[in-house]
Amino acid sequence: MSWIQEANQSAARLNVACREAGITLRTYRRWYRDGSISADKRPDAVRPTPANKLTEAEQAKIIEVCNLSKFASLPPSQIVPALLDNNEYYDSESTFYRVLKANGQLHHRGRSMTRKVSAQPTERFKKF
């Protein structure tokens, strides 16, 4: 801020000085009000929680449903339609994906067989 003010007092235009400092003129004016410099409050800003945010109980219910034995090996793109066929709706498919990813379960949840390793061929076959 002091460099910008110094450049401005040395007859440089304010928007050019701000551009050189890497901030916008709007940011400069927001930080420098009433002759005093205020701190950058963007990281410390208190943001309200969305009204439609899932509660912990709702997220736990989605995890519980996804871990049922009949859904354990299915992705959310198949779980949600299967639930809708039974007239059950917990949330959207994208929410299922988001909740599973946040809980580290966005991978194959069912029982799976170990990977079969095949040996490399020992010699090449020639064409005659």
The domain ranges of the chain are 2-37, 56-102
**Higher per-residue confidence, 20 vs 122:** 20
Q: Please name the residue that has the structure tokens 């928007």.
A: 15
Ramachandran angles phi, psi of 87, nearest 5°: 60, 40
pLDDT digit string, tens, across residues 44-88: 778 889 999 999 999 999 999 999 999 988 899 999 999 999 999
Tell which residue, 34, 16, 12, has the closest CA to residue 25: 16
Number of other CB atoms surrounding residue 128 within 10 Å: 3
- Single pTM value for the model: 0.54
Looking at residue 6, its pLDDT comes to 87
**Higher per-residue confidence, 41 vs 65:** 65
The strand pairing partners of 33, in sequence order, are 36
